[in-house]
Amino acid sequence: MKIRFQADADLNVDIVFGVLRRIPEIDFKTAAQAGLSGLGDAEVLETAASANRILVSHDWKTMPYYFGKFVASRLSPGVLIVPRKLGVGKTIEELVAIWSDSEAEDYVNSIRRLPL
């Protein structure tokens, strides 16, 4: 199955728009489109999982903890953590490559930090 991405509220929205400019066929929702603003990490993970979307976030501080708790009780499509210092352009390249070169199943129940 092709990868579908979900940005959380702290992800730089320029990343989402840049990915979509590069390849409009990529299914990548902003936090606003998914109604994630103001939700906690556990709720964000639940929303992304319910929609079968890999969550993309800048949050390396708390997201791994909540992800561990989440996958203890159910499957997750996965989480990709983007360090802010990676930069928008490089992040766009990484996400496009992930979408082009892998399948959604490759990320189930995993949390990975970019660049891969």
Domain residues of the chain, as ranges? 4-113
pLDDT at 25: 98
**pLDDT tens per residue, the chain (116 residues)?**
999 999 999 999 999 999 999 999 999 999 999 999 899 999 999 999 999 999 999 999 999 999 999 999 999 999 999 999 999 999 999 999 999 999 999 999 999 999 98
> Is the pTM here over 0.75, yes or no?
yes
Dump pLDDT digits (tens) for 54-72.
Answer: 999 999 999 999 999 999 9
**Is beta strand 54-57 parallel, antiparallel or unpaired with respect to 27-29?**
unpaired
d(CA 64, CA 81): 9
List of E strands, the chain: 4-7, 27-29, 54-57, 79-81, 111-113
Of 21, 25, 51, nearest in space to 8 by CA: 51
